[in-house]
Amino acid sequence: MTAPPAAAWQRILYGAAIFLGAGLLFLIEPVLAKAILPRFGGSAGVWTTCMLFYQVVLLAGYLYAHWLSRFFSHRAQATIHVGLLALSLVLMPVAVPVAPPRSEPLIEILALLASSIGLPFLLLSSTSPLLQSWFHGSAGGAFPYRLYAVSNTASLVALLAYPFAIEPALALRTQFLAWSAGYAAFALLAAAAALGIYRARGRTEPEPAAPVARSTRAAWLLLAACPAILWITVANRLSLSVAAIPFLWVLPLSIYLLSLILCFHSGRWYQPRLYRWLVPPALIALSIVLVRTSAGIARERGFEWALAAFSICLFVCCMFCHGELARRKPLSGGATVYYLTLAAGGAAGAVFVGLVAPLIFRDYLELPFAIVLCLCLAIALLFGLSSRKMIARLVVTCAAAFIVGVLPGARDHRVHARNFYGALEVTESGTLDDRYRSLYNGSILHGIQAMAADKRKWATTYYGPESGAGLAIRSRTPGPAKVGVVGLGVGTLAAYARPGDVYRFYEINPLVATIAKHEFRYLAEAAGKVDVVVGDGRIALEREQPGNFDVLVIDAFSGDAIPIHLLTVEAFRLYRRHLKKDGIIAVHITNKYIDLSPVLERVANEIGYETLLVRNSSDPARHINFSEWIVLTSNLSFIGRHMPQVWRPATRRGLRLWTDDYSNLLAALR
């Protein structure tokens, strides 16, 4: 029996349920990751593990939707789904335990996410394909792929709403409560849609899946994986080599979602004839901007041009992949298989970037891999395999673009290695009299040491004698001192050590610790005792007894990225516990895009400390860079001695105190 056309109320009900479900799905991701960050430390590891969880459970949700639609009648599907929705409401409101980690962080994060949000996330993930299947079953006609565009529109709205509206206004606990209330509303909408299934007069048996050729499934999988790899790697490249400013990852993901919305809303947005002309130059331009940002040219000349180039090229490539996906969608049976394959492709792309690539590549080669994959798909789907001349032209042009871009930025490197936290490179440059060794993470400089025997003890880059750290360490009393440093780099601050001093460095990346010990001489030639603790600085300090530090230096920044969990009032209460009565905290805040001085001024007022803003000029002859530091202390003698040289940090009216429950980077933008 053919189902009657959908009534207006059905379209509204299904559209509202899918829109709300997709929005909640995207909102809970940053909320949970932010909530567990202070507990585990190391934002890169936390975000990568969370992304892995989300992609795997998203795939499981699509698999669940396919399983229901394939083996159960629509009424049985509705019964099972409503039962699981009711069970998931028992887990509301969502909460995250705050106990310190006891086992391997990767395993514990996955277990924590599964126990706190696993079932609701699974059901939200299944919403779009399952409800589209129900709508098709109750209303008949072609499969309602426009509802997939509705789902991605909601995802885009949620993506933009969180950093710009929700995070600045609500504390984490309130965010969890609001999300839980939204989930309850979603469960009611989904239950109402299920009730409509019981009343439907159309077919109630599962729809047989139309046979799909292996080549078609392979095309679906690759067309879904390629843009997933592209947006994640473009976001990584922008953060590592152009400018690691907050929210920059929002732009590539927004482009990715926008292309999905356009391609699945209407076939008019994607025209293959047009993209035959757009894709080749986009891939060539992407190749050129990739290698030029890898050489650090973008940071020297401004990041705007690279940001624009990345964005335009990413949009063209995503439109091509998603447009071809939309052209190949099944019109009736087999839609849940189609969605399942799309989810598998997205998950494969995320797993490749997050887990596989760091194991098999020494450098960030994910984006070149994605460019080659997109090129192969374009050759096969836009030009046809028989177009040999076009294939040769594309390959030669892309190879030439890589060569032209690489030549200006080639560096003579001693070490080139990569792990979970990033790709590290040690280079040696300069003249015979001024030979120096440098450590880079991507194109971001993490430290320099002069090689000449009479210059090896120079404190370079951001740690010169007039820097905040330099002033704090040099102001110590004549006796032996104890200095703690969160963030090792190449160990530059060990240059200040005197006989009898104790320096304790905390470094989350074990590869950085290995390189600092074997490629640089600061640690080995320090006059005092030097210890290196591998692990997140805040977590390590929480586990240790009070250290009675004279000076505690906080310098765990990667380029312009902000480790928020090290800057909250809870973190500074911990630092104060590890300081002597007149101890000094020096926080490195050099940043082109974020002004952290008002944030730290607010925190200092809360814990009863005074603050000073210390700026030092660059000195290229001694390899000293301009830097900004905030010094926090109750040591009035230190403040009195240095007031003529330094400034009081700026205050910002209405700025809320940063806590583990609340932070707002938008309010700190310059």
For residues 494 and 525, give the distance between their C-alpha atoms in angstroms, rounded to a whole number.
8
At 448, is the secondary structure helix, strand, or coil? Answer: strand
Question: Token pair of 254, please?
Answer: 């927004």
Average pLDDT, the chain: 82
Specify the number of domains making up the chain.
Answer: 3
One domain, residues 338 and 479:
no
Confidence of residue 30 (pLDDT cuts 50, 70, 90): confident
CB atoms within 10 A of CB 203: 16
Cα distance between residue 313 and residue 24, in whole Å = 29
CATH of the domain at 182: 1.20.1250
Which residues share a beta bridge with 364?
Answer: none
Regarding whether 342 and 285 lie in a shared domain, the answer is: yes
Instruction: Name the band, by pLDDT with cuts 50, 70 and 90, for residue 146.
Output: confident
More confident site: 348 or 401: 348
pLDDT digits (tens, 9 = 90+) for 263-278: 888 778 899 889 889 9
Give the confidence band of 206 by pLDDT, cuts at 50, 70, 90.
low
State whether residue 445 is helix, strand or coil. Answer: strand
Residue 546 φ then ψ, to 5°: -50, 130
**Cα distances (Å, whole numbers) of residue 286 to 184, 189, 315:** 44, 43, 11
H/E stretch holding 205 reads: none
pTM: 0.81
Residue 411 resides in a domain: no
Rg, Å, the chain Cα set:
28
Lowest mean pLDDT among 248-262, 403-417, 425-439: 403-417
374 lies in the same domain as 500? no
**Residue 432 resides in a domain:** no
- In tens, the pLDDT along 450-481 reads 998 889 999 999 999 999 999 999 887 778 99
Q: What is the CATH number of the domain that holds 484?
A: 3.40.50.150
* 552 and 474 both lie in a single domain: yes
C-alpha distances (whole Å) from 490 to each of 295, 524, 526, 588 are 21, 11, 12, 16
Query: Any long-range contacts for 83-89 (C-beta under 8 Å, 24+ apart)?
Result: 84/119, 84/123, 85/123, 85/187, 85/190, 85/191, 86/187, 87/119, 88/119, 88/120, 88/123, 88/183, 88/187, 89/183, 89/184, 89/187
Same domain, yes or no: 101 and 3? yes
> Tokens standing for 81?
């789904």
Instruction: Report pLDDT for 303.
Output: 62
How far apart, in Å, are the Cα atoms of 390 and each of 6, 226, 282, 387, 507? 47, 21, 15, 5, 50
Alpha carbon distance 161, 154 (integer Å):
10
Write down the H helix ranges in 465-618. 468-474, 510-519, 537-543, 569-577, 597-607
Output the pLDDT for position 152: 85
Question: Is the distance from CB of 81 to CB of 190 less than 8 angstroms?
Answer: yes
pLDDT of residue 429: 85
Alpha helices by DSSP H, listed for 328-452, are 335-351, 357-360, 366-378, 388-406
C-alpha to C-alpha distance for 379 and 266, rounded to whole angstroms: 24
* Beta-bridge partner residues of 531: 504
Q: Are strands 422-429 and 413-419 parallel, antiparallel or unpaired?
A: antiparallel
Which of 207, 230, 257 is at the close of a domain? 207
- Residue 473: inside a domain: yes
Asked if residue 433 is part of any domain, the answer here is no
Residues 6+ apart with CB under 8 A from 478: none
pLDDT grade for 249, boundaries at 50, 70 and 90:
confident
Q: How confident is the model at residue 643 (pLDDT cuts 50, 70, 90)?
A: low
d(CA 656, CA 652) in angstroms, rounded, equals: 9
Token pair in block for residue 389? 């001349």
| Rounded CA separation 149/73 (Å) | 26
Assess whether 218 and 194 both reside in one domain. Answer: no
| Domain boundaries, position 172 | 1-207
Residue 267 domain flag: yes
273 exposure class (CB count in 10 Å sphere: 0-12, 13-18, 19+): exposed
The count of residues in the chain is 670
Residue matched to tokens 């692990």: 535
pLDDT digits (tens, 9 = 90+) for 346-400: 889 888 887 788 777 777 778 888 888 898 888 888 877 555 665 566 566 555 5
3-class DSSP assignment, residue 333: coil
Residues 225 and 182 in one domain: no
Residue after which a domain boundary falls, among 178, 207, 236: 207
122 belongs to a structural domain: yes
Residue 407: the pLDDT is 45
Q: Is the pLDDT of residue 248 over 80?
A: no
Confidence of residue 318 (pLDDT cuts 50, 70, 90): very high
User: In terms of Cα–Cα distance, which of 191, 218, 165, 158 is closest to 14?
Assistant: 191
Tell me, yes or no, whether 198 and 242 share the same domain: no
Residues 472, 346 share a domain:
no
CB 641 within 8 A of CB 626: no
Q: Does 3 have pLDDT greater than 90?
A: no
Residues 6 or more apart from 548 whose CB is under 8 A from it? 482, 578, 579, 580
- 199 and 64 in a single domain? The answer is yes
Lowest mean pLDDT among 138-142, 402-406, 474-478: 402-406
Q: SS3 of 416, please?
A: strand
User: Is residue 184 in some structural domain?
Assistant: yes
Listed residues 177, 207, 237: the one ending a domain: 207
pLDDT in tens, 568-621: 999 999 999 999 988 999 999 987 778 888 999 999 999 999 888 899 999 998
- Whether residues 398 and 513 share a domain: the answer is no
Answer whether 294's CB lies under 8 Å from 241's CB.
Answer: yes
Q: How confident is the model at residue 2 (pLDDT cuts 50, 70, 90)?
A: very low
Together in a domain, 639 and 531? yes
Task: Judge whether 581 and 594 are in contact, CB under 8 Å.
Answer: no
| C-alpha–C-alpha distance, residues 185 and 178, integer Å | 11
Q: 451: helix, coil or strand? A: coil
- Amino acid at position 427, single letter: T
Q: To which residue do tokens 């740690």 refer?
A: 463
Is 437 a domain residue?
no
8 A C-beta contact, residue 374 and residue 366: no
